[in-house]
Structure 1
Amino acid sequence: MSSIDDLLAVAKAYTKAEGIPLSTASWRALGDTKKLGDIEAGRDIQVRRLEKTMRWFSGNWPATAVWPSDIRRPSPSPEQAGAA
């Protein structure tokens, strides 16, 4: 699996747990309703933005949901760790 595949798998697990469309997760994580859909359609994402987005999902993961077991869960960003 590629890092992009991991991001999309995490995003889809998040949308399922939250009961929201991918566009809403995209807005929450990236501030852009279309970005995750664009990535799913084959567009690219910068490495730092991908890493930041994975940290966002990790820091905002629903308490009742299980993180996908085959994907490494990153530590939350320093801002998220400080807010906890």
Structure 2
Amino acid sequence: RQIVSLVIFNVFSTVSAERECRAPHPLSSCAPGTPITWMYYFDNHTDRCQKYLGCGGGRNDFGSKGCCIDSCPYGLFHAYSLTHI
């Protein structure tokens, strides 16, 4: 039972992670006083992690390119990500 539960959890985790990566990336609307920093999002049109200046807060937002690549190992980063696990 534990193995079946683990497999089901891994499948749902992968689906959930891909939903976050494939989520639309809306333009940031930063509240006054919110720090603006360089962040990354997964671009579904280019299949790459793209850099942008904003305040984050969305589902498809990552604090670093490495985090984006590790979280979204699809498209052009698939082979790269697998070699760095």
TM-score (norm 2): 0.28
Choose 1 or 2 for highest CA Rg. Answer: 2
- Structure ranking higher on relative contact order (CA contacts 8 Å, 6+ apart): 1
Specify which structure has the higher proportion of helix.
1
TM-score (norm 1): 0.28
